[in-house]
Structure 1
């Protein structure tokens, strides 16, 4: 079985992973980055990005391609592989890829991200990036003066709905129950907002719209009791039923919270295992933005560099056994 050793193994290829790779490469640490099952991360399924500093508008896939090129040009070895398992019980840490290749590393940066939870409807999939979104902060700007629908009943859904009132003419929240799970203060703001309506006891059954060019024109929602269908015209649909961090790889080895997000020391990317760092949406259940993920990738690389330097110093200072 082929084997590869590196000082820093970076797992994941979103903004956090590629930024960590750039910084680690500039520190002459010759990192290896394993791209994972979705090279480029969530931004590869996003169309226009208008909140990346320096670009008034850039396509998500183009932005990630540029990050990958940057990481390669400064010396990162990028591997098209998917890490199936990793052992963080001792250093060097070891990992096994889907390709059969094994990796060992003196430090690991985890940047596997998170995925929005989706309903799994064929019509939802058909309009992703063309009117169906899971991030109001990312895409709300495109719906100035338009009508949008938000699906969900927790804090995420209510927060997204309230945020969208800054742009949309009307926001309809569709929830399958007759009460919300969101915090009471958020519910109070929602119910008292003149732009918001709530459609209770309904679930999204279909998104419909034009195909050429693709665009959402409305939704059909089903009454959970009677099965009756209500048709609502809208220009955008925001699925807000939560996110799932991609932490299955390390969930039994690192401390996690909030449903699987990796815990890091406050103000740091250090995890519960020395030498293992986590950055981006894998650890961030609050902001979930490309720019904050990139910032954490930078932090992780700098902290990994310091960790490796301290380990090296400790090894040099350790007493050497004498040969008689």
Structure 2
């Protein structure tokens, strides 16, 4: 398995690091010391493709954490961040229906605000340029072409190197790409939820890399989630209510036997399986525990035989998660 992959012209490690879990209120309480230790462990272990957003944590908390962690190490890391959810003063919110965990989000991706979002992220991160800048969610009141046009100006000005879009349809990806090359599309994809096949087809056609968020099913595919802290946002997701979680854990135990036969963990099985779906896939698992971070990154070294992949797919075909997905 190749340890480095290409996302539309951007070379990154085959497995990145999703930093969302390092801010309070996402997966329960956490302090900055523990968060910084996790980031340092990720960078030291080669997880140098770090994913964040201006909306993770309050007042740019997650971006600020990353800025602290990479100080003096900027040349070692590729930083990706997102915009459109952390609305600044005076920005009119637009309601986006998403259902499930959040029901709706307040977004604004009007072109006139894009530069302000980027400059705020640059300050939070303490960097001169953002390596990969994503639209976090398409704005239902703004044509995606208009938003991407404003993002393209940031590339021309040297504030951003590559552009990405998240949580879009296949046609939205195509429309965005028509305005400016898109390096990566970020979407939910795991053994817990399949990708939209049309989106994958368009990404392949255009040469756009795919960055699966929640590649471990919001932690479920680790096999270790039995209960949640009160301030864990996953409490809002039907798949994580007490009854659904119990039923899903019982059902997905079938994956444990597969992982045991291969001598790997369930997390590694889930990540290696994703990596084998396409050479332009780079999952971004998150963790707060250094040992688990190293374990996740080691999945890039695992080669699954075609017979093993067929066996995995046969097991997955029999599994139907109880409850709606995270988003």
Report the TM-score when normalising by structure 2: 0.29
Rg comparison, structure with higher value = 1
Q: Which has the higher contact order (CA 8 A, sep 6+)?
A: 2
Report the TM-score when normalising by structure 1: 0.30
Q: Which has the larger share of strand?
A: 1
Q: Which has the larger share of helix?
A: 2
